[in-house]
Amino acid sequence: FQPLMPDLHYYYIVELSFYWSLMFSQFIDVKRKDFGIMFTHHIVTVTLITFSYVTNLTRVGTLILCLHDAADIVLEAAKMANYCKCQKLSDLLFLTFAVVFIVSRLGIYPLWILNTTLFELYEALGNFPALWVFNVLLIVLQILHCFWSYLIIKAAYRAISKGKVAKDSRSDVESSSDEEETVPRSKAPHSTVATNGTSGANGTNGYLTGATSSEEH
Judge whether 140 and 66 are in contact, CB under 8 Å: no
pLDDT tens sequence across 141-195: 999 999 989 988 888 788 778 765 544 444 443 433 343 444 444 444 444 444 4
Count of CA atoms in the C-beta half-sphere (13 A) of 140:
17
Query: pLDDT, tens digit, for every residue of 65-113?
Result: 999 899 988 989 999 999 999 988 988 998 899 999 999 999 999 999 9
Q: Note the pLDDT tens digit of each residue in 38-53.
A: 888 889 999 999 989 9
Total-model pTM: 0.67
The CA-based angle 136-48-155, given to 5 degrees, is 80
Kindly provide the b/e burial profile for residues 72-91, where b requires at least 16 CB atoms within 10 angstroms of the residue's own CB. bebbbbbbebbeeeebeebb
* pLDDT for the residue 163: 62
Q: Of all residues in the chain, what percent carry a pLDDT higher than 70?
A: 74
pLDDT at 145: 92
More confident: 140 or 204: 140
- Angular region, 130: left φ>0, alpha ψ -120 to 50, beta rest: alpha
Query: Residue-wise over 95-104: b if at least 16 C-beta within 10 A, else e?
Result: bebbebbbeb
Tell me how long the chain is: 217
Percent of the chain exceeding pLDDT 90 equals 38
CB atoms within 10 A of CB 111: 10
